[in-house]
A and B are shown apart, each in its own frame.
Chain A
Amino acid sequence: MSETHDEPNSGHPDAELLLFVADEATAAQRTMVTEHLAGCAECRATLNELRETFLALDARPTADMSDLAWERTLRAVMSPRASAPVTRSWRSSPMFAAGLVAAVFLLAAVLSFAALGVRQAREVQRLRAELVDARAQMVVAMLREPESAERLRAVALGGPLLGEDARVAAAFAIVLRSDPSPNVRLAVLDAVDAAPRHAQLASEILMALPAEPQPAVRLAMIDLVAELGDPRARDALKAMATGDPDPSVRARARAATERLSSRSSGVLQ
């Protein structure tokens, strides 16, 4: 999902979509959302992300989320477009509340801020920061789970926070260096690839590269550092091009070195 906040996206029924996923939509809203989903790939993708988030968070209720005024959050975020249906006591389910907090956070990124008043927009920004904080804490906690599948979930949840929360970036750096699962390490590389350029993580990838035991993950690291275009990567890649035990890694490192060299010579010209 896009993380841009400044572009109004009024063509999508964001609020109704959240209510639809939360099973809180009225019959009319359900019909409207269903019809909209049939013709809108973006909202179908959003729907899937919301469902994933709900499932992920439903499995992990966190006590420190209980003090978030999520009902107020919902009202603040949703009031211009959905006022009537939010009447039930949703607080009755802490797990649901946890999922809702994340869902509101997700939707905060796509809601039309233009439809909100100045005070409400400011309030949304403040609440969004709170939600980022709660989500970051959860990501860091999940990255310590013994199950690799849980850590993969954490990477999926934390990826969109890269660049926003230093704790998540630091936790991802630790994963790159020491997570026992190559699948999780590769997921972190994918998250870095999808995020805005992150200098700290770019350096971490470069440092982790020579010690990475799995050739497939080394290949992904080489591709990524070459794409990131860090000139410091050239020496590391040159060393791998001759010294890596895996022939496919050596070949990829050679190609990446050439790409970096041609890029820097292009810059000089």
Chain B
Amino acid sequence: MFSSKRVLPAAAFILGVCAPKIARAQQSVVDSVNVESVVILPLGLPASGSRNVVAVRAANASFTVKPSEKGQVWALLRSSRREVSNAVAARSLRATTTGDTVQIELARALTAPGHLDLGVPLGAALRIAGDNGGEVRIEGVRGSAEVTHSNGGVTVLDATGHVLVATSNGNVRVRLVSVERGVPMSFITNNGDIDLTMPADVRVTLLIDDSIPLESDFPLVSSGTAGARSRLRRLAVNGGGPTIRLFTDNGKVRFHRL
């Protein structure tokens, strides 16, 4: 048996060489990778000038997403199981390219918790749909992000544009370095804290139930309730703007200035 750590760089290199053929295909299924519990998927960039969207769907897996050095899209699935047959590992991930969107998903359900490492072009718009499996962590991609998850925390650092997060049983931590004007955002968790960091000049209106503890670096100006019946408050930041909906049933919200 091989050690994943030792074999991974070699496998990445070999598949990197083969990448152009895969990139040209509009639809591709990962070919056999003779490595224990590791699947690597290098894909070429969508046409230059268009926006890159990377959509990933995987249940029972945690995620780490970082910018790729060469602007490629790649995915690497690690299984927590000690032994995975080559036949199973070979077709664990499926990738489809349509227009400016690369879609990556599990070809079959994971029987043990996995971890998905993703490399995406800087500025790519991410859409991640998870279910159980642990934390989703996106760092330094500098694009917009939408994460729908359950039973796991979500961390999005140094995004730009807009971010949407919905999870249960986990903390939400988001740092936006610049905010797209006029686009509403929304952060939902059932059990967990919400920690937001945004630029000092951001103009938004927080929409939050008055029972949720809220700490803010920004001065907040109440503009009354949003609902006719509920206790949803509207709190303007720097004069107000598009709404940021904040929902946690069992946690608090912190709103930091970048």
Contacts and interface: CB of A to CB of B under 8 A. Distances in A.
Interface of A: 41, 44-45, 48, 51-52, 55-56, 59, 148-149, 152-153, 156, 180-184, 186-187, 190, 193-196, 213-217, 219-220, 223-224, 227-228, 246, 248, 252
B184 interface: yes
Given A182-B166, A187-B184, A219-B190, A149 B144 contact: yes
Given A149-B184, A180-B148, A193-B232, A214 B239 contact: no
A193 B191 contact: no
A196 B227 CA distance: 10
B215 interface: no
Interface in B92-147: 129, 144, 146
B229 A224 contact: yes
B166 A48 contact: no
B125 to A, nearest CB: 8
B76 interface: no
B226 interface: yes
14 contacts: A44-B239, A44-B240, A45-B236, A48-B239, A59-B182, A153-B184, A183-B164, A183-B186, A190-B227, A215-B249, A216-B190, A227-B229, A227-B230, A248-B191
B166 A183 contact: yes
Contacts of B207: 190
B257 interface: no
A45 B184 contact: no
A156 B168 contact: no
A55 B204 CA distance: 14
B183 interface: yes
A215 B247 CA distance: 11
Contacts of A59: 182
B182 A186 contact: no
Contacts of B239: 44, 48
A196 B229 CA distance: 10
A195 B232 CA distance: 13
A52 B241 contact: yes
B252 interface: no
Interface string B171-189: 0000000000111111011
Contacts of A149: 144, 146, 162, 164, 183-185
Contact of B181 (A55, A181, A182, A227): A55
B228 A195 contact: yes
Nearest to A183: B186
A216 B189 contact: yes
B79 interface: no
B180 to A, nearest CB: 8
Contacts of B249: 215-216, 219, 248, 252
Contacts of A184: 186
A152 B186 contact: yes
A152 B223 contact: no
A195 B226 CA distance: 10
A194 B227 contact: yes
B245 interface: yes
A186 B190 contact: no
B227 A193 contact: yes
A238 B166 CA distance: 26
B57 to A, nearest CB: 10
A156 B245 CA distance: 12
B149 to A, nearest CB: 10
B184 A181 contact: no
B250 interface: yes
A182 B169 CA distance: 15
B252 to A, nearest CB: 15
Contact of A186 (B162, B188, B228): B188
A153 B183 contact: yes
Contacts of B245: 183, 186-187, 190
Nearest to B221: A41
Closest 3 CB pairs of A and B: A55-B182, A193-B227, A183-B186
Nearest to A48: B240
Contact of B223 (A41, A195, A216, A217): A41
Contacts of B229: 193, 224, 227-228
Given A186-B247, A223-B230, A45 B191 contact: no
Nearest to B231: A223
Interface string B188-212: 1111000000000001010100000
Interface string B21-51: 0000000000000000000000000000000
Nearest to A152: B184
A228 B182 CA distance: 31
A48 B241 CA distance: 6
A58 B78 CA distance: 44
